[in-house]
Amino acid sequence: MPPFGASNARFLVVGLAPGMHGANRTGRPFTGDHAGILLYQMLHKYGFATHDHSEAADDDLELVDCRITNAVKCLPPDNKPVGDEINTCNNFLANELRTLPRDSVVLALGGIAHRAIVKALGMRQTEYRFSHAAVHDAEYFQLLDSYHCSRYNTNTRRLTEPMFDAIFAQARELLDNCKRE
Ligand code: URA
């Protein structure tokens, strides 16, 4: 599944993998998946999307200076990506990260996405540990971590709406602060 959004966007959201009956069916990341409900609400609230809901790949929703991709592009068995899939797809992710404009912000949704990004950059996992709301300096972008907005995480309140809202406020601030003249 191709990423959604312009390739020169400064805000890149990296999810885990397309949901079996959602994004995998609709062809757009986080579309038709429970996890997409809160994600698109927040993207809209913080000015990264023209609507607060993503219906289908051919609706008129547009992302604004934002792009969404997944660490794993292939549909994982039982929705749990295994090492092989993460490795195969890591090349796609590395390309995606290499072509980011300067002063971008990358939001990793969950530990697997975070580790896939660190691996794609050839950085050491021990020096860049996943931690909710942490900001890591990569060479030419900042990596912001969040718990994944999955149904499981929101149901168990590992990730609440105010927590996710705060992540987007943080992303917006990081982008505004490093904007070049
Ligand atoms: N849908 C996606 O596209 N990615 C996720 O990580 C979850 C649901």
Residue with structure tokens 């757009």?
28
Q: Which atom of ligand 1 approaches the CA of 71 most closely? A: 6
177 against 44, higher pLDDT: 44
Q: Euclidean distance between the first and final Cα of the chain, in Å? A: 35
Ligand 1 contact via 153 beta carbon (within 6 Å): no
Distance 57 CA to ligand 1 centre (A): 14
Question: Looking at domain 4-180, what is its CATH homologous superfamily?
Answer: Uracil-DNA glycosylase-like domain (3.40.470.10)
Whole-angstrom distance, CA of residue 98 vs CA of residue 119: 13
Q: Concatenate the DSSP letters of all residues of the chain into one string.
A: ---EE-TT-SEEEEES---TTTHHHHSSTTSSSHHHHHHHHHHHHTTSBSSS----TTSS--BSSEEEEES--SPPGGG---HHHHHHHHHHHHHHHHTPPTTEEEEEESHHHHHHHHHHTT--TTTS---TT-EEE-SSEEEEEE----HHHHHTTSS-HHHHHHHHHHHHHHHHHT---
Say which range, 3-12, 18-27, 32-41, 73-82, has the weakest mean pLDDT: 73-82
Domain map (residue ranges) of the chain: 4-180
Q: Which atom of ligand 1 approaches the CA of 113 most closely? A: 6
Across the range 101-113, mean pLDDT stands at 96
Q: Which atom of ligand 1 approaches the CA of 28 most closely? A: 3
What is the model's pLDDT at position 11? 98
What is the model's pLDDT at position 140? 85
Answer whether 42's CB lies under 8 Å from 144's CB: no
Q: Whose CA is nearest to atom 1 of ligand 1?
A: 30
Distance 29 CA to ligand 1 centre (A): 6
Residue 5 confidence class, pLDDT cut points 50, 70, 90 = very high
Distance 122 CA to ligand 1 centre (A): 24
Residue with structure tokens 């980011």?
100
Distance 180 CA to ligand 1 centre (A): 31
What is the model's pLDDT at position 181? 40
What is the model's pLDDT at position 21? 84
Residue 28 confidence class, pLDDT cut points 50, 70, 90 = very high
What is the model's pLDDT at position 180? 47
Across the range 49-66, mean pLDDT stands at 97
Sign (positive/negative) of CA torsion 87, 171, 164, 33?
negative
Q: Which atom of ligand 1 approaches the CA of 16 most closely? A: 6
Distance 71 CA to ligand 1 centre (A): 9
